[in-house]
A = this chain, B = another copy of it.
């Protein structure tokens, strides 16, 4: 059945746009164990609370097994929705459980938002660069991306002119330790952003998978927490992937009831609901304050890994290169001299056994910077960070 399979189906227009990217193909080799890969976006498995997860599944299955294995409501498990509402309220937002939708990973929130907010040709505002997974998710609904100008401090609220915001369905932003840059939006810009959004009637989608991974600087209020005062309309996405583990596929979304209604209907058609067992087990883990004990250990690990890579970069990268110094999260963003194309550099690096992600695919709705790259430091042993960065430094110095 595979011989003529290309002609077996009439694919939708959106599916015809899906193509396996060249970079994805190159990066497949990074799964080989001999490769030092800074390309991944995986959290460090040493930080996964395996025993707590095991104990929670055990308790749930022992005490409420049949409920945990039955269909559940599309909105999510009520105690977990209440926990999320309380968790967000403790951070300064005013959230009721009815505004919370439990997701099969926060990536699903991006898909559902695309489904209910994007028509072909709809304008969607994005940071430059932005999270590739979100660009891919939204792309299936065929929006017209427009880049919001930014600098090393992240997006520039004053660049949100009425013209840029006109008819935009929303602005997608990651204020904390952004993927891919590691940048954090400072407090003044956060205030200015929600005020601009309120003035322009522009919904903000705040994606915050890394917010709990802060290991430097002071915690800042999220856009949702600032929204109430400013009268802005903020949709907030959160995830258990970086605080507990990504293999559970559990996230959540908080939004105005009118949007939740539509998203619930879309989610019902998409996957009925998120696994009851997973929701009940995670609730069992977090309900008594486990994260307050657990997260400091995770943050400390990430801080050390980050510090080690920053040290290696300053030793081995040429003076003409610059990079971000993240206050949390998993990524460092490097800007090389303008003549260096990091997609070409990647091919050379792979030959030397080192991988990273070139920056260009993270740009949408504007000009891409081909001299940029993303480094992830969290899963690579420290001696390999040093060796890998040294190789990259040599290749950059020799690049022509």
Contacts and interface: CB of A to CB of B under 8 A. Distances in A.
A86 interface: no
Contacts of A117: 9-12, 15
A274 B50 CA distance: 19
A203 B4 CA distance: 13
A2 B270 contact: no
Interface string A19-47: 01000000000000000000001110110
Contacts of A43: 70
A9 B203 contact: yes
Nearest to A246: B71
A275 B256 contact: no
A48 B61 contact: no
A268 B11 CA distance: 17
A11 B122 CA distance: 10
A66 interface: yes
Given A65-B50, A115-B140, A1 B104 contact: no
Contacts of A153: none
Of residues A57, A133, A169, A270, which shows the largest number of chain B Cβ atoms within 10 Å of its Cβ? A270
Interface in A216-236: 227-228, 233
B6 A258 contact: yes
A133 B269 contact: yes
B277 A247 contact: yes
A256 B10 contact: no
A107 interface: yes
A67 B42 CA distance: 12
Contact of A256 (B5, B42, B248): B5
Contacts of A71: 41-42, 246-247
Interface string A290-320: 0000000000000000000000000000000
A278 B54 CA distance: 13
Contact of A5 (B1, B259, B277): B259
B69 A53 contact: yes
Interface residues of A, number: 85
Given A2-B257, A266-B18, A272-B133, A115 B65 contact: no
A198 to B, nearest CB: 11
A13 interface: yes
A72 interface: yes
The secondary-structure label for the interface of chain A is: helix
Nearest to A94: B1
Interface in A128-177: 133, 136-137, 139-141, 167, 169
Nearest to A21: B265
Interface of A: 1-2, 5-6, 8-15, 18, 20, 41-43, 45-46, 48, 50, 53-54, 57-58, 61-62, 65-72, 99, 104-105, 107-108, 110-111, 115-119, 122, 133, 136-137, 139-141, 167, 169, 203, 227-228, 233, 244-249, 256-259, 261-262, 265-266, 268-278
29 contacts: A1-B256, A2-B256, A5-B257, A5-B259, A8-B203, A9-B256, A12-B115, A12-B117, A12-B118, A15-B115, A15-B117, A15-B266, A41-B71, A45-B67, A48-B65, A53-B65, A54-B61, A54-B65, A57-B58, A104-B271, A105-B271, A107-B271, A108-B271, A111-B269, A248-B275, A249-B271, A249-B273, A271-B271, A275-B275
